[in-house]
Amino acid sequence: MTATTDGSTGAVGPRAAAASEPSDTTPVAGDIGEVARRATARSVEHLLGQQDAQGWWKGDLETNVTMDAEDLLLRQFLGVQDAGTTEAAGRFIRGEQRADGTWATFYGGPGELSTTIEGYVALRLAGDRPDDPHMARAAAWIREQGGVAESRVFTRIWLALFGWWKWDDLPEVPPELIFLPKWFPLNIYSFGCWARQTIVPLTIVSALRPVRPAPFALDELHTDVSHPNPTKPLAAAASWDGIFQRIDKALHLYHKVAPRAVRRTAMNAAARWIVERQENDGCWGGIQPPAVYSVIALHLLGYDLKHPVMRAGLESLDRFAVWREDGSRMIEACQSPVWDTCLATIALADAGVSPDHPALVKAAEWMLDEQIVRSGDWAVRRPGLAPGGWAFEFHNDNYPDIDDTAEVILALRRVAHPDTARMDTAVRRGARWTLGMQSKNGAWGAFDADNVSPFPNRLPFCDFGEVIDPPSADVTAHVVEMLAYEGLGGHPDTRRGIEWLLAEQEADGAWFGRWGVNYVYGTGSAVPALVAAGIPVTHPAIRRAVGWVESVQNDDGGWGEDLRSYREEKWIGHGASTASQTAWALLALLAAGRRETPAVERGVAWLAAAQREDGSWDEPYFTGTGFPWDFSINYHLYRQVFPLTALGRYVNGEPLPGRASARAERLGDGRAKNVDERRPDSRADSRKGA
């Protein structure tokens, strides 16, 4: 199903949807090389104009209205709401509502129950009445979907804070979890860092079960007002779900008899854990959800709102707000300056901007200052590893990001920074840290090594998206590409990464995209990395990838892939053409030596025709992910940096030519090209349609 412009759905297949999307593009005229050069020059000028005076770039990071709703709910809970903020948030949430009364988690997507409930409650806080037409439509749709009882756990936690749901009817997460040792099969470090930072404060909230007076009733969102909290049947006792459901029942019993001294000690330990991880800017992990729950947990333990920790935390949440010209206020789930800056630097350099251009030097200087030189939670699994990574955000020293670190190094190597010794030292530290974060299977996750426990995802509490951080093809590809350009393409650890990537290729030639949508992103990451590492373009894996990319090109010359590809196989590789996804496809084809082909020329022509007069591109579609399908992201800078990178490589050729191979030869390390060309059995096919 695909969404129509009025928010309804129509039975239109993915190919038809891609072809029937309204297009702003018109065919370009003239020599395609000259067209590409003009488009590149316009894009360079635009992107240079977006740089901050300090050297960084940052585009808006757009998600869905749960961020805005939970911000209002937090202010209501703490008693710090103000009319101006509430009105601005209400205006934004109202503007995101679809004609059928629902809210989606991504542009053009279907209505989503929990998001719609939270959007509805937020508008009630903003003064909208249940009998207003847009509210009545939302409430009716919520009831049709089963009401509040069918929403995710996190939504019901927010409702429980105000007495709209019973704490007894929520999964139990005891604060004693903080005591479980690191070797235990399920401990706080079994979770991905984003889930860990959220769950620890929620153990305090779950133990204390606070209820603040609700400003209104929500009977209209229940299907049975007399019994609004129905009990769901248990799964079979022999199943994992059944086992964890029964453990949850036991934990509910423990909640009633937990020794007060033990519980108080556990909550104090959790509070110390939280406070120790507060960043210099007052936030936690650079992301909004852990900051929200940490503020609530500490407040419940007696931290006054004027306490330095609380004051800094609340001030950090204000920095997630984006005020728009229409007076509305959007909350970012996170901010991405390091990621955006390294990608912008790569794009400008590959587009032909001089390595010593002041903008690139200033960007490199800012990135060098952002390197993290102290240990964080990643050291739990790698205690002997020296730090040296980069995070995604302005302030997040506890959780450097392997993906960011690889791309920052690739960006720094494109800049002629005047202090070459400082540059080389930073790159060496970053590369060494990245190598040390390799998982046992030879691949890399985003934040931790070997974060692959099967248990966290089984917990009844964890129904809000991915809660572990297993290795992914896109992160592994970026690391392999970086190591190759550092002359380490034949290093044994790089070779293990290459072998893992080859084994993860789908039967049709694509790679799954964990942090970008989806197979177009995974393939656009993997092919350039493998070629950079010495895999010849004649290798069967590269040929299959090229065949797949060319087979999913849209009739208009662009590429697109809908987020529904994470759920429905028919959407894989299909969707309305977007600037970022067209660029990813082109990056794969260009790396594979397909520059002089109709597919590439049509893709370049589409980018040039879709470009605005100011050199930018528009892209309402969400092409990034936090959790595939469950939490989608529209990175507003993706539509600028990736098309420029693709155009630049089309005009100027592949980046850093010859440097990596020459360096590898000096190291006697050019063995990557000899990787076995037989295709290992793919272990990734089961992801399709999951």
Give the active site residues: 403
How far apart CA 517 and CA 62 sit, in angstroms, is: 15
Which DSSP letter does residue 484 get? H
Q: Given the DSSP bridges, would you call strands 624-627 and 631-635 parallel, antiparallel or unpaired?
A: antiparallel
How far apart CA 470 and CA 443 sit, in angstroms, is: 9
Joined tokens for residue 545: 């990838």
Which DSSP letter does residue 235 get? P
Q: Whose structure tokens read 């010794």? A: 421
In this structure, are residues 418 and 365 in contact, taking their beta carbons and an 8 Å threshold? no
State the helix-helix crossing angle for 540-551 and 579-591, rounded to 10 degrees. Answer: 150
Dihedral of the CA atoms 414, 419, 423, 425 (nearest 10)? 160
SS3 61: strand
How far apart CA 390 and CA 376 sit, in angstroms, is: 12
Q: How many residues does the chain have?
A: 690
% helix / strand / coil in the chain, to the nearest 5?
50, 5, 45
SS3 238: coil
Q: Given the DSSP bridges, would you call strands 631-635 and 61-62 parallel, antiparallel or unpaired?
A: antiparallel
DSSP string, 548-615: HHHHT--TTS-----GGGGT-GGGTT-SS--HHHHHHHHHHHHHTT-TTSHHHHHHHHHHHHH--TTS
DSSP string, 655-689: SSTTHHHHHHHHTT---GGGS--SPPPPS-GGGTT
How far apart CA 148 and CA 117 sit, in angstroms, is: 7
How far apart CA 110 and CA 566 sit, in angstroms, is: 14
* Residue 614: Cβ within 10 Å count: 10
- 449 burial via Cβ count (<10 Å: 0-12, 13-18, 19+): buried
Q: Phi/psi of residue 16, each to 5°?
A: -65, -35
Q: 31-34: long-range contacts at Cβ-Cβ below 8 A with a sequence spacing of 24 or more? A: 32/601, 32/604, 32/605, 33/651
Joined tokens for residue 103: 């809210």
Element (H, E) at 266: helix 260-276
How far apart CA 25 and CA 581 sit, in angstroms, is: 16
Q: Phi/psi of residue 282, each to 5°?
A: 95, -10
Q: Which amino acid is at 58?
A: K
Strand order in the sheet with 624-627: 61-62, 631-635, 624-627
SS3 390: strand
**Of 614, 529, 524, nearest to 578 (Cα)?**
524
